[in-house]
């Protein structure tokens, strides 16, 4: 019988055992499109990034001026007509994310609010990851950092972390490694990896462009290998496992307004809305050239 790593909190062990029982065994080399950094047992805050750098012999880049979640939006390989229609302001945000400030509001479906409170109490507060506010709120300012880990000899970026915490409380909302991934179908997705104890939660989102130049990211896949939400872990014997959560979906729409960028993120479970984030995103450092 395959067992999760034994020396950890019971609630972590139980959830990992569920992934083993309901998921599938994976070989990292065969699912490279899915793999990302795993967390450690002692929490996932900003110190985790320093631990990961030491463990993998990487350097935290504090000098590079340009820090974006995606080096170039051309790398999404969008159809030419979609790329030309995509807002230049949205492109600039993804290519220069560190130059922007964010605030957000949260609106819960009351039916799921109790579930969110339970997850925060059992998991999020302890591991300092995915601390989603459980009360509806408006205008919460986020502290946002883009932290890149590079290969010391080549200078190649290995990981790009986007670290977001609530300014009012200091709690980590999200700490994730962002990049691109090519699905088995050949479709290029934006990938966000959120480290968890002995594993991670990974979201793969397919990009598209709306009629008003907005970027639409969608994780509505149907089966393993599609865009969607995945849990990954390593068990007590070093074997890897993954569970595709078809019922959980994430949709993000990023649009340019007159003086800012807005984003609406909707999370659904069993096709029912769980909560909605609304972001206001403004540039805090001026670009070298003009943005059209």
Which tens digit of pLDDT belongs to each residue from 22-34? 999 999 999 999 9
- Residue 62, pLDDT > 80, answer no
- Residue 58, pLDDT > 50, answer yes
Which among 192, 194, 214, 215 is positioned nearest to 204, based on CA atoms?
192
Average of pLDDT values for 32-61? 89
Q: Are 175 and 164 in contact (CB under 8 A)?
A: yes
Average of pLDDT values for 161-184? 90
Q: Are 50 and 175 in contact (CB under 8 A)?
A: no
Helix (H) or strand (E) holding 178: strand 172-182
Token pair 């990049």 is at which residue?
A: 179
Q: What are phi and psi of 132, to 5 degrees?
A: -80, 125
What pLDDT does residue 292 have?
Answer: 46
Q: How far apart (Å, rounded) are the C-alpha atoms in residues 1 and 20? A: 10
Give, rounded to a whole angstrom, the gap between the first and last alpha carbons of the chain. 59
| Structure tokens belonging to residue 158 | 């290995």
Q: What is the pLDDT of residues 110-138, one digit of tens each?
A: 999 888 888 777 766 666 777 787 777 77
Provide the β-strand partners of residue 20.
none
pTM of this prediction exceeds 0.95: no
């Amino acid at each position: 019988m395959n067992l999760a790593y034994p020396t950890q909190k019971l609630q972590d062990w139980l959830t990992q055992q569920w992934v083993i029982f309901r998921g599938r065994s994976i070989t990292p080399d065969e699912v490279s499109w899915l793999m990302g950094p795993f967390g450690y047992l002692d929490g996932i805050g900003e110190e985790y990034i320093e631990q990961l750098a030491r463990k993998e012999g990487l350097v935290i880049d504090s000098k590079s001026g340009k820090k974006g979640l995606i080096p170039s939006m051309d790398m999404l390989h969008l159809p030419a007509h979609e790329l030309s229609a995509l807002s230049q302001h949205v492109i600039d945000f993804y290519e220069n994310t560190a130059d922007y400030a964010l605030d957000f509001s949260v609106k819960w479906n009351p039916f799921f609010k109790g579930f969110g409170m339970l997850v925060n109490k059992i998991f999020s507060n302890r591991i300092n990851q995915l601390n989603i506010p459980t009360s509806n709120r408006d205008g919460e300012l986020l502290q946002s950092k883009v932290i890149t880990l590079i290969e010391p000899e080549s200078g190649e970026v290995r990981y790009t972390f986007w670290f977001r915490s609530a300014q009012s409380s200091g709690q980590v909302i999200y700490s994730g490694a962002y990049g691109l991934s090519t699905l088995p179908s050949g479709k290029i997705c934006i990938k966000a990896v959120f480290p968890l104890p002995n594993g991670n939660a990974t979201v793969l989102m397919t990009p598209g462009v709306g009629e008003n130049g907005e970027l639409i990211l969608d994780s509505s896949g149907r089966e393993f290998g599609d865009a969607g939400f995945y849990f990954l872990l390593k068990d007590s014997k070093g074997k890897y496992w993954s569970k595709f959560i078809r019922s959980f979906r994430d949709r993000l729409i990023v649009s340019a307004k007159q003086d800012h960028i807005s984003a609406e993120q909707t999370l659904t479970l069993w096709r029912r809305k769980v909560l909605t984030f609304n972001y206001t995103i403004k540039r805090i450092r001026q670009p070298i050239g003009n943005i059209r």
